[in-house]
Amino acid sequence: MKTRIISGTILILIAGTCMVLGGLWLIGLMTAMALIAFFELSRATGLHVKGTPTNAFESAAYVSIVVMYAFIYLDYVGIGLGLWSTIFLMFLLIIYVVKFPTYDASQMMRAFFCVMYGPFLFSYVYRIRTLENGQYLIWLVLICSALNDTFAYFIGSAFGKHKLAPKLSPKKSIEGSIGGIVGGTLGGGIYGWFLGANIYHSANMWWIIAIICGLSSIIGQIGDLAASGIKRNYNIKDYGTLIPGHGGVMDRVDSIIVTAPIIYYLSILFMDLDFTAISW
């Protein structure tokens, strides 16, 4: 537990500092985390076999991740990301055809999935930071994730009697799930009150942020269960060992990667931000 607390504190300090600074600091940290997340996913799904050289699909994926984050940093999030995803898929197809039968179709699909599921969804954290008042909205990612996990754990430990998804995560309960959603919603409402009073000067901000965090908490739990399902499919306990007491990068961002896109789009939808900032 001591190791977990120390490593968690260090991680929060580093991430928090980069979130405040934004720009190159944040995109640099996120790019590094995205590359590690892909490695963990590729190893978990069998795309990368331990002790073997990086294969062509992995190499293409690593390059594509760096290019994607460069596009996002340079604000090429419209046609840029559409072009990126198309070229990346085309490169995978070219590798598959040229190297056939060295690689099979399942490896190609795993490479595409591992990039889109981890690094691509994770990129929404930075994209939230680029929105109007993004320096404040980005904290919703941590508020939803942290309070959801904390309330779910304590409520589930105290009152949990009914299993939420016994085949995916036997320890999670329906009571804990509800507690997590309530915790995320309450945290969002309190933070929304602060934003409404000091930043947006709107009395409605507390319930808007509460709705965003409530919906994000629900999706975050689905993301957490999905990540657990993937680990069970491939018979692994954690995605990695990089963060002592926590596992790998994917073990820490499994709910964040699905929460961030929801926060990004709902922030634009509910708070009347610039709709031209949306990239599909």
What are the φ and ψ backbone dihedral angles of 234, each rounded to 5 degrees?
-105, 10
Specify whether the CB–CB gap between 173 and 161 falls below 8 A: yes
Q: Fill in the DSSP letter of residue 116.
A: I
205 near 216, Cβ under 8 Å?
no
d(CA 135, CA 27): 14
Q: Are 83 and 53 in contact (CB under 8 A)?
A: no
Residues 6+ apart with CB under 8 A from 248: 36, 37, 40, 238, 239, 240, 241, 242
Q: Name every residue whose Cβ is closer than 8 Å to that of residue 115 and which is 6 or more positions away in sequence.
A: 38, 61, 64, 65, 88
Domain count, the chain: 1
pTM attached to this predicted model? 0.90
Residue type at 126 in one-letter notation: Y
Tell me the residue range of the domain where 74 lies.
Answer: 2-277
pLDDT tens string, the chain, 280 residues long: the values are 677 788 888 988 999 999 999 999 999 999 999 999 999 999 999 999 888 889 999 999 999 999 999 999 988 766 677 889 999 999 999 999 999 999 999 999 999 999 999 999 999 999 999 998 999 999 999 999 999 999 999 999 999 899 999 888 888 999 999 999 999 999 999 999 998 888 887 888 899 999 999 999 999 999 999 999 999 999 998 898 888 778 899 999 999 999 999 999 999 888 764 434 445 4
